[in-house]
Each structure stands twice: as structure tokens, then as C-alpha cells.
Amino acid sequence: MLIFLYGQDNFRSQKKLQELIEGYKTSHKKGLSLSYFSGENFNFKDLLNETEINSIFKEKKLLVLKNVFSNKKFKDDFLEHGEKIAKSDAIVLFHEGEEIDKRDRLLKFLKEHAKSQEFELLNGEKLVSWVDKKIKNYGAAIEPGALKKLIAYVGNDLWRMENEVIKLINYVKNKKIQEEDVDLLVRPKIENDIFETINSLAEKKKDKALFLLHRHLSKGDSPLYLLSMINFQFRNLLVIRDLIDKKAPYYEIPKRSGLHPFVVKKTYPAAQKFSLSQLKKIYQNIFQIDLSVKTGKIDPEMALDLLVSGL
């Protein structure tokens, strides 16, 4: 029998894989022989041998194949002998956690011959429902505004979302999660990405910085919010650079700056690449551009381009 779990949502497909393995362990009381195979170097003959050799203990065989779609030789061999594998007594479970080309021949074969389930990235109401259910499963509750903000901050990265949910629940204990709790404990995804943009600017890689900003815009991120984040990060750079020039030890910077240690850790390397006078000039430029946007003198997207080009 063939089973096929795939899709970009690696979190849910991995959870399903674990669920199936545990289910087979429970249902096969005579024993379950579990083997894992993965990657570029996996040889099809190893799989074929496993399906043909019968266990003297009459165990059911569950063979898990992870991320083998990048292995061209394996795919070619499997497509030639796949129907034989499908008819064997072994359970062959494919798990692919990356996006697969819809034209891939092995994808088409498995969708036709295997019990398959695709795990697409959750968005919109499906994502809201999933996060809300996850919190309730932990015996906790969250305010609607806090739930909306949590999703805006984390997006559909469910690995990170689960960690953030656990962190929030441990923090509020038996109380309902509020917006201020999310603000305090959760770093916005866009904020993490802005660090990369700032580092690109610090390294004088304007083309990369523009590319990153326009990638945000193409995803629907607000240019005004992007501008405010750049403003926020350069203000942090200015504060940290000033403390560096005052010979403040690194371990004292979070306390003396009032910045979160995470922000200091991410910002400190970039601050070392600017002089204090450069940062003051840039910060003043950001202030002037921000004022022009707010007074309607310049389009927000054009303002971002001008800002990066002028740095």
C-alpha cells in the first residue's frame, strides 16, 4: 500500500505522519517494523529489498520515505517498478515537505496510486480557526483582537505559531490572552525580515534592500508600515551606535538602551557598520521622507525607493 503526504505546510504534514505511525503501532499488536529512508543518496534497490523480504516475526512493515523527490535516479526506478511496490504487503509512506512541481511524474503517479493528502498553507479563516482551536486545545482562551494580531505577527508558519502560543499561555497562566500580551512577547514576522533589509543597507547592498522591500509590497504589506519599521530600526541603530561610541560593554546595552535583548542582538552588528554621524544623517532623512508621506507630498512606495537610493 502507498500513502502520500505532501504540501508546503510541513507542520501539519509532519503531525499527520506522526499520527499515522503511532496509529499503525497501536493497531499492529504483533509488531511493526519501522524504517526511514531519505534524500539524494537513497537507493531504490534498498526499498525493493525491504518490500520483498518477509519478516520471520510476521511484523507489518512501514517504510517511510522522506524528501526523495530530489532524487532523480530513485524516481526513475520507482516509476518503472512502482506498481509492484504498491501491491506488496509493506506500507510505503512518502512524506514530502517541500513544494513539488505539478508536472512531476512521480507526483502524478502517487496521486493516482496512493492514498494521498495535500497540506496547503493555511490562510484567512482557515488559519484563524486553526490557531483558535490550538489555543483551546491547551485549555486557554484569547481575545479576538489578540488573535488577529498574533496571526498578523506570525503568519502561517505553524511551527513558529505553536511555539508562540505555548509562550503566551505560559505567560498569562489562567487568564485570557490580550493584545498587550502579544505585543510584549511576539516579534512581528515583518520586523524580523526588516533586520535583513537593514543589514543589506549597512553593507551598501542597495539592490538587495530594494528587492526585499518590493517583495514585502508584492505580498500586500503596507508601505507606511514598512517605512515605520525602517524608522524604528534606524532609531535603534542610532541608540546602540551612541552607546558603542561611549564604550558601553555589550552586556550593558539592553539595560542602558531600554531595548529588548533580542533587538540588541540583531541590531548590534549593523550598528558597527555605520558611524554615529552617518546614522544621524540617515535618521533625519527618514524623518523628512516620513513627513512628506504624511502630508501627501509623495507616494509611500516612491518614498521607500527614494529612501533606499539616498542612503
Indicate whether 255 and 177 sit together in one domain. Answer: no
C-alpha Rg value of the chain to the nearest Å: 26
Whole-number pLDDT of residue 208:
84
Confidence of residue 227 (pLDDT cuts 50, 70, 90): confident
Query: 246: which residues sit within 8 A by CB, 6+ positions away?
Result: none
The Cα diameter of the chain in Å comes to 81
d(CA 166, CA 134): 10
Indicate whether 292 and 249 sit together in one domain. Answer: yes
Q: Which of 185, 209, 227 finishes a domain?
A: 185
Indicate whether 43 and 142 sit together in one domain. Answer: no
Asked if 16 and 117 touch (Cβ cutoff 8 Å), the reply is yes
What torsion, rounded to 10 degrees, do the Cα atoms 84, 85, 86, 92 define? 180
User: The domain that contains 69 carries what CATH number?
Assistant: 3.40.50.300
Indicate whether 152 and 93 sit together in one domain. Answer: no
Whole-number pLDDT of residue 226:
81
User: Averaged over 208-229, what is the pLDDT?
Assistant: 79
Q: Classify 194 in phi/psi space as left (phi over 0), alpha (psi -120 to 50) or beta.
A: alpha
Query: 92: which residues sit within 8 A by CB, 6+ positions away?
Result: 1, 2, 3, 47, 51, 63, 65, 85, 86
Q: Which H/E stretch holds residue 116? A: strand 115-118
Nearest-CA neighbor of 304 among 235, 236, 237, 223? 223
Asked if 113 and 88 touch (Cβ cutoff 8 Å), the reply is no
Listed in sequence order, the DSSP H helices in 56-173 are 72-86, 105-113, 124-137, 144-154, 158-172
- What are the φ/ψ torsions at residue 267 (nearest 5 degrees)? -95, -30
Indicate whether 198 and 240 sit together in one domain. Answer: yes
When divided into structural domains, the chain yields a total of 3
Whole-number pLDDT of residue 133:
95
Check pLDDT > 60 for residue 55: no
User: The domain that contains 275 carries what CATH number?
Assistant: 1.20.272.10
Indicate whether 297 and 196 sit together in one domain. Answer: yes
Check pLDDT > 60 for residue 47: yes
Confidence of residue 54 (pLDDT cuts 50, 70, 90): low
Indicate whether 133 and 215 sit together in one domain. Answer: no
Indicate whether 70 and 134 sit together in one domain. Answer: no
DSSP letter for each residue of 238-291: HHHHHHHHTT--GGGHHHHH---HHHHHHHHHHHTTS-HHHHHHHHHHHHHHHH
Whole-number pLDDT of residue 80:
87
pLDDT averaged over every residue in the chain: 85
Asked if 155 and 189 touch (Cβ cutoff 8 Å), the reply is yes
Q: Which of 69, 91, 118 finishes a domain?
A: 118
Check pLDDT > 90 for residue 61: no
d(CA 310, CA 285): 8
Percent of the chain with pLDDT over 90: 27
C-alpha cell at 265: 542582538
Q: For 77-129, how does the pLDDT look when each residue is reduced to its tens digit (9 = 90+)?
A: 888 888 888 888 888 999 987 778 888 999 999 998 899 999 998 988 999 99
Whole-number pLDDT of residue 71:
84
Indicate whether 159 and 67 sit together in one domain. Answer: no
Whole-number pLDDT of residue 304:
83
What range does the domain containing 131 cover?
124-185
β-partners of residue 6 are: 96, 118
Indicate whether 129 and 75 sit together in one domain. Answer: no
User: The domain that contains 146 carries what CATH number?
Assistant: 1.10.8.60
Indicate whether 19 and 106 sit together in one domain. Answer: yes
Indicate whether 193 and 181 sit together in one domain. Answer: no
Distances (CA, A) of 65 to 21, 62, 168: 13, 10, 35
Q: Which of 65, 90, 118 finishes a domain?
A: 118
